């Protein structure tokens, strides 16, 4: 499984497959301390026993059915206050990869979950190491629901298989083929970021942002309110217009009401 390297310059050219592990991000963190670990190294597993998501949530997946991986990057071209740009590039890469199979109803729910309609198909957890003013290493953890058909512990979750059932007859997607496709697109967007295409990436992110420009209900500090998402600032804060005023929220300061 996962024997063929993707047609990339460096992302996925070194790949470590573990049938089972506690967390691919933790394994990747150990590898960073090894001098022989190149940028673009991928750690992937069929079964992650203690996966983590945003807000400290657990990420539960059925063994052998989904894509669960971490990618080691060295984005030294980004300063600490630019780190949300990496979230943008990674989110867009996954969005474009999935768009091949689901050309409609895909979006990026701030800050970096992947949604089909109003259901979660995947999530991203990026852990950065900062030295001085710049990033030295980043571990990009990606969990994508691919062939799983039941989510008893995650009622708002959906998989690529479930979302594409009306359009595809195959029993299951080939995870090795999908991994290769994902890593190719991932490298494309990472290189766009490295080459300074930040304005176009920001604009693309907003065009695909879940709820952008729509009036929605949110909860912050236990209070429910109605507002309109107008953007994301340079620090990665969600900008919501509320009562004709712009309000700024960090990751753990606000929740969407569905």
Show Cβ contacts of residue 229 under 8 Å, excluding neighbours closer than 6 positions: 110, 209, 211, 212, 213, 214, 216, 238, 239, 240
What's the CA gap between 152 and 11, in Å, rounded? 34
Dump the DSSP string for 125-159. EEEEEEETTEEEEEEEEEEE--S----TT-TTB--
Dump the DSSP string for 166-220. TT---SS--HHHHHHHHHHHHHHHHHHHHTT-HHHHHHHHHHTBTTBTSEEEEEE
Q: pTM for the whole thing? A: 0.94
What's the CA gap between 16 and 180, in Å, rounded? 14
* pLDDT tens-digit map of 138-191: 999 999 999 999 998 888 999 999 999 866 656 899 999 999 999 999 999 999
* pLDDT tens-digit map of 63-85: 999 999 999 999 999 999 999 99
Low-confidence ranges of the chain (pLDDT < 50): 54-55
């Amino acid at each position: 499984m996962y024997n063929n390297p993707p047609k990339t310059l460096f992302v996925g050219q070194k790949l470590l497959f573990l049938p089972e592990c506690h967390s691919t991000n933790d394994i990747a963190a150990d590898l960073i301390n090894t001098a022989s670990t190149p940028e673009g190294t991928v750690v992937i597993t069929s079964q992650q026993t203690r996966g983590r998501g945003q807000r400290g949530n657990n990420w539960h997946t059925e063994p052998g059915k989904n894509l669960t991986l971490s990618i080691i990057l060295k984005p030294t071209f980004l300063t600490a206050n630019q780190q949300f740009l990496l979230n943008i590039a990674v989110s867009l890469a996954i969005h474009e990869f999935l768009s091949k199979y689901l050309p409609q109803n895909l979006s990026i729910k701030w800050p970096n979950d992947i949604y089909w309609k109003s259901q979660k198909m995947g999530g991203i957890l990026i852990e950065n190491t900062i030295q001085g003013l710049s990033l030295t290493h980043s571990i990009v953890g990606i969990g994508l629901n691919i062939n799983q058909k039941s989510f008893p512990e995650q009622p708002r979750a959906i998989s690529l298989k479930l979302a594409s059932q009306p359009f595809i007859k195959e029993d299951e997607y080939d995870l090795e083929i999908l991994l290769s496709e994902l890593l190719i697109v991932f490298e494309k967007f990472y290189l766009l970021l490295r080459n300074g295409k930040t304005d176009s990436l920001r604009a693309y992110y907003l065009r695909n942002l879940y709820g952008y420009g729509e009036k929605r209900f949110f909860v912050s500090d236990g209070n429910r309110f109605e507002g309109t998402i107008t953007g994301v600032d340079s620090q990665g804060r969600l900008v919501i217009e509320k009562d004709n005023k712009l309000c700024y929220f960090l990751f753990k300061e606000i929740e969407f009401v569905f």
